[in-house]
Structure 1
Amino acid sequence: MATVAWTAADVALDGGVRPAGPPDFGTLPPWLIALGLLGALVVAAPAWALRRLLLRHRRARLP
C-alpha cells in the first residue's frame, strides 16, 4: 500500500495529476479569435445594411 501512495505522490509532484477544479484550457488561439470576429462581421454587416435600408424607406414614407 505504501508503494502505491509513494508512486501517486511522485506522479503528483511531476505534474502528472492536475489539481481538482474546473479544467484550464489556456488562452484561445489567435486564429480562433480571428474566426470569431470574422463570423460576427459576416452576421453584423447584412443586418446593419438592412437596418439602414429600412430606416431610409421609413423616412421616405413620412409626410
Structure 2
Amino acid sequence: MAILHLQSLRWTSDGELHDADRVILLNTLIPQCIPSVQTELIQAVERIALSQTTLTAQVCES
C-alpha cells in the first residue's frame, strides 16, 4: 500500500488541476495500476509534458 502524502493542489482559473500537480497525481497513481492502465497514464504524462512550454536558462561553457 502506498504511503499517504498530504499536499495542497493548485487549480487553474477554469477549474482544471494545474499541470504540475496533474503530473504528480499521475506519477502517484501509475505504480498502483494494472499494466494497461499504466500505459494510458504514462501517455497522459507525456501529453502534459509536451503541452507545457517553459523557458530555461541556457548554460554555455567557455
Q: Do these two structures clear the TM 0.5 threshold for a shared fold by scoring above it? A: no
Higher helix share: 1
Answer with 1 or 2: which has the greater Rg.
Answer: 1
TM-score by length of 2: 0.29
TM-score by length of 1: 0.29
